[in-house]
A and B are shown apart, each in its own frame.
Chain A
Amino acid sequence: MGTLFIRRLIQMLLIMLVVSAMLFAIFDSDQFRKKVAVAELGGFGLATLSDDDYHAWLEKRGLNQPFPVRYVAWLDQIVHGDFGQSIEKDVAVSTLLEESLSNTAVLAFFVFLIMVPVSLTLGVLAGMKEGSSLDRVISFVAVFTTSIPQIATAALLTVILALGLKWVPTKSAMDDGWSFRALVLPLLTLLIYDIGYLVRMTRAAMTEVMASQYIRTALLKGLPYHRVILRHALRNALIVPVTLIFLELNGVLSQVVVVEVFFQYRGFGRMLFDAANFGDIQVLQAGTLVAVCVAVASQLLSDVAYVVVNPRVRFVR
């Protein structure tokens, strides 16, 4: 188990290094550096930037050094929590990141809090007896909810809950203080898709386990049904779903872009979207790096969880 973990860890570090080098190289190109130069020198656009000014600026910022030297210096800055300044908003990128990530973390916390118990229960119930009417209803609904893209869910939920029934506000900008009611729509939009997905995966794992020999043996030797499910089937059926829960973190980071933009919630996805639209490349660079970092960490966590819940791997390695 130890060696497996270390091998995965090394691989992840390697990926992070490659991704950070890629990001650095992309935003280090003249195309993007000129934008920063214009912003810092206070010009009116790329056309007003003369070559001499640009080169003087490069000199002043120490950007004429060779690529590896600058890359290492940049990494050093990032490790110390310095992501540079946002061009558009004139604040440190790290403050922006902190604020938006904490808002998204709140959203993600509620998503996981509701998603995990609900979808595991529904998935197990559906997979317990393949082909039963309960199974068919749950499976159908799950296919249905995973088929509706989140912009459509967001639009339909707005129409029903906010415009029709007027239970919740249409937007979640939360200009006058935090409120849970404003969080309902983005939360539901994320949940409807994610629960459907996890239910399908749990159901698939559960049906596979229920068809196996040892469950049949347990049932045939006369053990009570609930005991077979709780003691024998669940342990094996939940291995895959548990690892998927961690991988969902990656998915949520991607889904929040749409949901937060639609509902104007001030989170990570919204920040990234604004940065992309206004060409705020420092924020875009830092945001992407953080997103990849979280995603890679969640992959590592998922691997660890797999080893922890799966005795076969734990004892063989």
Chain B
Amino acid sequence: MLLALIWLPLVSFVMFRPALGAAGRYVLLPAAPAVIVMYVMALRRWRESRVALFGITLVSLWLLIAVTVPFLPLADPNKPLVPLLPPGTIRNGMLFLLGSDMRGRDMLSRTLWGCQRVLVWGITATSVAYVVGAGCGLLGGYLGGWWDEIVSFIGNVFLSFPVMVLFILVLNVLGQSGFNIIIAVTCSSAPIIMRIVRGLALDARSRDYIQAAQTRGEHPLWIMLVELLPNVRGPLIVDACLRLGYTTVAITTLTFLGLGLQPPDPDWGLMIKEAAPAALLWKYSYMLIVPALAVSSLILGFNFTADGLREMSQRD
């Protein structure tokens, strides 16, 4: 529920901004309290694991930035001002806390805006991959037989591609756009999710509660979605956190390669790409450091959350 409150406004803001016009940013209003509520709830529930708390703090921080950045008093991230200012200079009555890049755009503003696209496409792509992967895994694991053979084989075919090679192939064949990134991420992640869900479903199939449902004469679809899926959610949530991290890496990397989301909107991968040829001197190295640290901190957040959750599930 809360996730939907954060995610829907963000998606509509990032994907359909031109259609929304100037008033578009008010779509984000309900998301900010939702992030805070989610964070407080996580704080309460995960009090025992410091690692998970550290992780969720980083993630929530970036989420909060993503939903509030249009309201912050920042320079326009795409507007050229004064090029190549070192961090912390004041020029024309404006403070460039993180300096400006070689086209004169404010680095701080670009870094903060940059998290929006990554988070939106990352979360969307991971969710789609989960729906496809979990669906196939349930089919294979619960129904078994031919279903299992077919689904597993298709999964194995996709798994035999090195991930980046698969991404390049998919984006080259289908064209470069956000929606095709979702397809590419699904192709590479869904088989792995499928394997996990299939294993869990195989394990749960012989449990009493499933057999009770079968005896009641429930529809297989009902059993899979209502009885099986909620009972195997523990390991899946841990995996989802890790996978969000992987997807973020993938999206940033693709933008860096120039294969994913297109400029000029700010994006961490794009910032590294643009800075790489320019930052050949020590004094310009901040252009590389800032986006690199930003993307690392977000992924660190996802990974630590996953680690903490796993630790807690093992302790119980």
Contacts and interface: CB of A to CB of B under 8 A. Distances in A.
Interface of A: 11, 14-16, 18-19, 22, 26, 143-144, 146-153, 155-156, 158-159, 163-164, 170, 250-251, 253-255, 257-258, 261-262, 269, 272-273, 276-277, 279, 284, 287-288, 291-292, 295-296, 299
Given A26-B173, A258-B253, A273-B257, A151 B160 contact: no
A195 to B, nearest CB: 16
A147 B285 contact: no
Contacts of A258: 164, 253, 256-257
B162 A254 contact: yes
A151 B282 contact: no
Chain B interface bracket (under 10, 10 to 19, 20 to 34, 35 or more): 35 or more
Given A147-B296, A164-B285, A272-B168, 18 more contacts: A19-B157, A143-B303, A147-B299, A147-B302, A148-B299, A150-B253, A151-B252, A152-B291, A152-B293, A155-B289, A158-B285, A163-B281, A251-B162, A257-B164, A269-B164, A273-B257, A288-B165, A292-B161
Contact of A277 (B165, B258, B295): B258
B225 interface: no
A199 to B, nearest CB: 14
B292 interface: yes
Contacts of A15: 153, 156-157, 160
B115 to A, nearest CB: 14
B276 A155 contact: yes
25 contacts: A22-B157, A26-B169, A146-B303, A149-B248, A149-B253, A149-B295, A149-B296, A149-B299, A151-B252, A152-B272, A152-B296, A156-B289, A156-B293, A158-B279, A163-B279, A163-B280, A250-B162, A251-B163, A253-B165, A255-B164, A257-B164, A258-B164, A258-B256, A261-B257, A284-B169
Contact of B165 (A144, A158, A254): A254
B245 A147 contact: yes
B249 interface: yes
B282 A164 contact: yes
Contacts of B156: 11, 15
Contacts of B171: 276
A146 B164 CA distance: 17
A213 to B, nearest CB: 19
A163 B259 contact: no
- Name the residue in A19, A170, A257, A269 with the highest tally of chain B Cβ atoms < 10 Å from its Cβ: A257
Contacts of B173: 26
A287 B252 contact: no
Given A143-B303, A144-B300, A158-B288, A149 B249 contact: yes
Contact of A151 (B172, B269, B281, B303): B269
B126 to A, nearest CB: 16
A258 B153 CA distance: 29
B169 to A, nearest CB: 5
Contact of B304 (A143, A153, A254): A143
B307 interface: yes
B272 A155 contact: yes
Nearest to B302: A147
Nearest to B170: A26
